[in-house]
Amino acid sequence: MLRYVLFRLLQVIPVFIGTTLLIYFMVFAMPGDPVLAMFGDKTPNPAQLERLRAQYHLDQPFLVQYFYYIKGVLVGDFGTSFSGQPVGEVLARTFPVTMKLAIIAIAIEFVLAVVIGLFSGIRKGKLFDNVNLIIALIMLSLPIFVIAFIAQYFFAIKLGWFRTTVGSGAPLQDLLLPGIVLGISLYATSMRLTRASVIDTLNQDFVRTAYSKGLSRGRVVPVHVLRNSLIPTITNTATDFGALMVGATVTEGIFNVPGVGNTLYQAIIRGENATVVSFVTVMVVVYLVVNLVVDLLYAVLDPRIRYA
Amino acid sequence: MPDSNSRKIPHFVAPVDEVPVLEVDAVRLKDKKSNLWLDAWRDMRVRPMFWISLVIIIVVIAMALFPTLFTQVDPRSCQLALSNKPPETGHPLGFTKQGCDIYSRIVHGTSTSLSVGLIVVTMTFLMGTVMGALSGYFGGKIDTVISRVGDIFFSIPYILAAIVVMSVMSAHRNVFVISLAIGAFAWPVTARILRAEVFRVKNADFVMASESLGLTKFKTLVKHVLPNSIAPVIVVTTLSLSSAIVAEAVLSFLGVGLPPAEFMSWGNDISAAQSDLRNAPQTLIYPSAALTITVLGFIMLGEVVRDALDPKARARR
């Protein structure tokens, strides 16, 4: 196990350096002078400009600037957003909300995926399976903002079951509607993976053995078939969780969820390109870490992975 | 995953005297010719989903190429007096907040979605095929370098990556730039799939035969290995067309897509209509429906192609 953890950690280092370097290079290539932008309409004197450039290491070559940035990231200094708040502080405030939303969404996705996928797989080619496949295709075709607007229009505006946008403090009942929207937008892929896996498992010898030794369907399906079919579903849900942790930008924006994604959304809308980029860099790092943790947990759960 | 096919071989000895051995192995010349692509076509053409998706795609392509066949109304002639007005004769879907004809804007916006989708897919196909083939066939150092570079691009969620690229390129947003922003981070998927497939194929006897006959490694790759390993790439490419179209709409919706003043795009129209969800939902619903139906068409095509080219998927149908 320790060997696997070390191996995986070593593997993530070049990817970490590569991704941050790539994004940092794009910022470096960004047109416009960030120091001049700090002064807005005022014209600063050249000495002031020089001092600020030196302070932010902007007079240094690209790789040195990058080195200073990474040094900052490693000690938890992610830079400052346009409004003067440290990016790290903004993230600390918004992250718990995003986490709550992600957990709701993932729970809905997983339950839908497993229940529907299992029944669809058992009843392959029957009416339920076919109807379900058509619904899944439609769900796959609906872009997330369309699902969000439909849900907002019917459940919040027409029926009044939920509030249209999330109130202050992000109470759980307000997060439910965006959570459902995200869960529905994600379930189709996981559901089809479950279905495919259930169909494959049903053809395995051990299932035939279980039936031939007289076990009932009520025992074979949940214990022998389902448990052995869940790995692809869990993998996909975990990947989705990683993606949600860095914020569902569109959904959080539409429902005004005070999370990581919405902060990014607001920064984009206000055209604060530098803030956008610094957020994205941190998010990519978070994404890498979440995926690493998921992979490691996975190795704990499934011995085949760590010995492969 | 264990190979399920090997388990299906029946474990009994066939009664030899029933069919003469030669006849079993004989090539039946009278039978129809067959190969992977012909089989795929025979499989696809009997599926209603294939024909439905084809109709949608043909209509979408026609709209993109000849928008004036579908509407005579100028999408840019807008009157504020008509803001959010319901449908009237000649304007079947009503008007946007700016007083523009919704139907005409949808028709004229088709080419944006479609061209972004096609450019992205062409880019990822070429890039993914070259990278995947090289790393799979030559292995060694080439494989290590390409795979690690691919890992870097693969680790950045593509919407986040595209947001950065579009923010950096804020002064030059056009169809090519947005396609590049989406496609630059999508090719590793294609490359990984092809790499695995080339790994599988390159040890086949016909590859060795080709090299023994004196063909160079490169010619063998292009003439024999690639044609035999391209099927999964075709599948993933067809499926990714729809994701590219959605990605363009999402970026435009977020406001980092194509500038609304210059480009007509469904994403832009949906974005502009979102504040009127309460009082004029039709301005939002029609462009969303156009987007959804187009994406559905391409997803269904991808499904049918996958079922036709992937025998495992076919078995699960």
Please give the backbone phi and psi of residue B314, each rounded to the nearest 5 degrees, phi first: -65, -40
Any bridge partners for residue A80, and if so which? A86
222-251 in chain B: CB under 8 A from chain A: 242, 246, 249-250
Nearest-CA neighbor of A282 among A134, A119, A98, A125?
Answer: A98
CB-defined contacts A:B, below 8 A: 133
pLDDT at B307: 82
Stronger pLDDT, A279 or B13, i.e. the higher one: A279
Please compute the mean of the pLDDT values over residues A120-143 and round it to a whole number.
87
Please compute the mean of the pLDDT values over residues B227-252 and round it to a whole number.
86
pLDDT at A115: 92
pLDDT confidence band for B125 (50 / 70 / 90): very high
Please compute the mean of the pLDDT values over residues B107-111 and round it to a whole number.
86
pLDDT digits (tens, 9 = 90+) for B174-189: 888 889 888 888 888 8
Token digits of residue A108: 């809905």
By the 8 A CB rule, do A53 and A35 touch? yes
Taking the CB of residue A172, how many other CB atoms lie within 10 A of it?
10
Nearest-CA neighbor of B121 among B40, B197, B233?
Answer: B233
What angle in degrees, to the nearest 10, is found between the helix axes of A273-301 and B140-155? 120
Q: What sections of chain A are H helices per DSSP?
A: 2-28, 34-39, 46-55, 62-74, 87-122, 127-141, 144-151, 172-202, 205-212, 217-219, 227-245, 249-255, 260-269, 273-301, 303-307
The answer to whether B296 contacts A145, with C-beta atoms less than 8 Å apart, is no
Helix (H, G, I), strand (E, B) or coil at A259: coil
Nearest residue on chain A to B273, alpha-carbon basis: A149
Nearest-CA neighbor of A283 among A252, A250, A243?
Answer: A243
130-149 in chain A: CB under 8 A from chain B: 137-138, 140-146, 149
Give this prediction's pTM. Answer: 0.80
pLDDT at B124: 92
Distance CA B112, CA A204 (A): 48
Q: How many Å lie between the alpha carbon of A42 and the closest alpha carbon of chain B?
A: 23
By the 8 A CB rule, do A255 and A178 touch? yes
By the 8 A CB rule, do B241 and B198 touch? no
DSSP H or E stretch at residue A225: none
Q: Which residue has the tokens 């388990």?
A: B7
Distance CA B224, CA B158 (A): 33
Please compute the mean of the pLDDT values over residues B147-154 and round it to a whole number.
83
Q: Which residue has the tokens 């993230």?
A: A91
Distance CA A190, CA A118 (A): 11
pLDDT digits (tens, 9 = 90+) for A190-226: 898 888 888 888 888 888 888 888 888 888 888 888 8
Task: Check CB contact of B303 with chain A, cutoff 8 Å.
Answer: yes
The answer to whether A145 contacts B164, with C-beta atoms less than 8 Å apart, is no
The answer to whether B152 contacts A22, with C-beta atoms less than 8 Å apart, is yes
Q: Which of B10-24, B139-153, B164-178 has the highest mean pLDDT?
A: B139-153
pLDDT at A106: 92
Contact list, A149 vs chain B (CB under 8 Å) = 274, 277, 284, 288
Please compute the mean of the pLDDT values over residues A87-103 and round it to a whole number.
83
Nearest-CA neighbor of A153 among A181, A123, A186, A183?
Answer: A181
The answer to whether A277 contacts B165, with C-beta atoms less than 8 Å apart, is no
Contact list, A122 vs chain B (CB under 8 Å) = none
The answer to whether B168 contacts A27, with C-beta atoms less than 8 Å apart, is yes
pLDDT at A56: 65
Above 60 in pLDDT, residue A308?
A: no
146-175 in chain B: CB under 8 A from chain A: 148-149, 151-153, 155-157, 159-161, 163-165, 167-168, 170-171
8-37 in chain A: CB under 8 A from chain B: 14-15, 18-19, 22-23, 26-27, 29-31
Task: Check CB contact of B292 with chain A, cutoff 8 Å.
Answer: yes
Task: Check CB contact of A159 with chain B, cutoff 8 Å.
Answer: no
Contact list, A195 vs chain B (CB under 8 Å) = 316
Please give the backbone phi and psi of residue A226, each rounded to the nearest 5 degrees, phi first: -60, -45
Distance CA B230, CA B222 (A): 11
Distance CA B28, CA A236 (A): 45
The partner residue sitting opposite A19, judged by closest CB among B156, B313, B315, is: B156
Nearest residue on chain A to B49, alpha-carbon basis: A134
Please compute the mean of the pLDDT values over residues A98-110 and round it to a whole number.
90
The partner residue sitting opposite B157, judged by closest CB among A22, A246, A250, is: A246
Please compute the mean of the pLDDT values over residues A280-307 and round it to a whole number.
75
pLDDT at A78: 67
Separation in Å, CA B275 to CA A77, B96, B149, B278: 37, 12, 42, 8
180-239 in chain A: CB under 8 A from chain B: 195-196, 199-200, 203-205
Residues whose CB is less than 8 angstroms from the CB of residue A3 and which lie 6 or more positions away in sequence, other chains included: A306
Nearest residue on chain A to B271, alpha-carbon basis: A145
Above 80 in pLDDT, residue A72?
A: no
Please compute the mean of the pLDDT values over residues A179-185 and round it to a whole number.
89
Distance CA A252, CA A95 (A): 12
pLDDT confidence band for B1 (50 / 70 / 90): very low
The partner residue sitting opposite A277, judged by closest CB among B1, B157, B167, is: B167
The partner residue sitting opposite A29, judged by closest CB among B148, B168, B296, is: B168
Task: Please provide the average confidence, as pLDDT, over all residues in chain A.
Answer: 79
Q: How many Å lie between the alpha carbon of A257 and the closest alpha carbon of chain B?
A: 15
pLDDT at A109: 92
Separation in Å, CA A194 to CA B4, B304, B308: 17, 19, 21
Phi-psi region of A127 (alpha: psi -120 to 50; beta: other; left: phi over 0): alpha
Nearest-CA neighbor of B160 among A31, A93, A29, A19?
Answer: A19
Please compute the mean of the pLDDT values over residues B235-254 and round it to a whole number.
86
Above 50 in pLDDT, residue B111?
A: yes
Nearest-CA neighbor of B130 among B183, B181, B186, B191?
Answer: B191
The answer to whether A141 contacts B168, with C-beta atoms less than 8 Å apart, is no
Contact list, A273 vs chain B (CB under 8 Å) = 167-168, 170
By the 8 A CB rule, do B75 and B261 touch? no
The share of chain B scoring above pLDDT 90, in percent, equals 8
DSSP string covering B52-84, please? HHHHHHHHHHHHHH-GGGT--S-TT---GGGTT
Distance CA B152, CA A21 (A): 10
Nearest residue on chain B to A142, alpha-carbon basis: B292
By the 8 A CB rule, do A95 and A292 touch? no
Nearest-CA neighbor of A198 among A116, A134, A140?
Answer: A116
Q: Which residue has the tokens 């040094």?
A: A71
pLDDT digits (tens, 9 = 90+) for B263-301: 888 888 888 877 777 777 778 888 888 888 988 898 888
Nearest residue on chain A to B53, alpha-carbon basis: A137
Task: Check CB contact of A98 with chain B, cutoff 8 Å.
Answer: no
Above 80 in pLDDT, residue B248?
A: yes
Q: What sections of chain B are H helices per DSSP?
A: 4-7, 21-25, 36-44, 48-65, 102-138, 140-155, 158-168, 175-183, 187-201, 205-212, 217-220, 226-229, 231-254, 266-273, 282-309, 311-315
Please compute the mean of the pLDDT values over residues A34-39 and round it to a whole number.
61
Above 60 in pLDDT, residue A184?
A: yes
pLDDT at B69: 78
Distance CA A276, CA A283 (A): 10
Q: How many Å lie between the alpha carbon of A146 and the closest alpha carbon of chain B?
A: 6
pLDDT at A232: 80
Distance CA B295, CA B287 (A): 12
pLDDT at A33: 60
Contact list, B303 vs chain A (CB under 8 Å) = 137
Nearest-CA neighbor of B124 among B156, B150, B85?
Answer: B150
Tell me how long chain A is.
308
Task: Check CB contact of B83 with chain A, cutoff 8 Å.
Answer: no
Contact list, A152 vs chain B (CB under 8 Å) = 277
By the 8 A CB rule, do A191 and A116 touch? yes
Q: How many Å lie between the alpha carbon of A152 and the closest alpha carbon of chain B?
A: 9
pLDDT digits (tens, 9 = 90+) for B3-53: 445 555 555 665 556 666 666 666 667 777 777 778 888 888 888 888 999
